[in-house]
Amino acid sequence: MPEVKCKKCKEVIVESDGGKLSEGDVSADVDLITAIANLIKIEEHLENTYETTKNELYLKIRDEVRRDRGLLLGFFLKSEVKDSYKDEGDLWCIFKHSLSVWFGLKEVAAKYLSESRDALEEGKEEIAKQKMEAAKMLFDVAMRERARMILALNILKEKNKKS
């Protein structure tokens, strides 16, 4: 453990698995795929903003974000499955689109949950129930998409062990 002079800081810094600070923290790889998914969404928003404004600055920024996303996705895949992803056809693109779907569905589900709370406050129980059911279904699909990504990574890790 690193030496820390601040007594309160010592209570926060713990040795952990995968960069986790506490039992409730997610691992570094989960943080990384979430960051990559956010970069994909930023790319989409920059493209939409360009379409609205026709200001080419947004395309330049999008290109920079795209390079960063590619760098991080390559780092993640290489750290997880070495170079075997390069031999697996369109795995790079599949993983990128899976991240986008997973993150997009989580965002829509969160919006539905918010709308459900608003409907409840307005006394519209039936609408609230429909929104809540839609949010649950979207979260379920998002988690299945995440599970497929993890399964694909595990298959490639096993392939690397056999090589």
For residue 94, what are its two tokens?
């599949």
Task: State the pLDDT at residue 84.
Answer: 59
Confidence at 52, pLDDT banded by 50, 70, 90: very high
Question: Which one-letter amino acid corresponds to residue 86?
Answer: K
Task: Encode pLDDT of 70-82 as tens digits.
Answer: 899 888 877 766 6
Checking if the pLDDT of 46 tops 60, the result is: yes
Task: Compute the distance between CA of residue 133 and CA of residue 116 in angstroms, rounded to an integer.
Answer: 9
Which residue in 74, 93, 94, 80 sits closest to 159, CA to CA? Answer: 80
Single-letter residue type at 10: K
0.95 exceeded by pTM: no
Rounded distance, CA 34 to CA 26, Å?
11
Contact indicator for 85, 156 with CB cutoff of 8 Å:
yes
pLDDT at 163: 64
Question: What are the residue ranges spanned by the domains of the chain?
Answer: 27-162
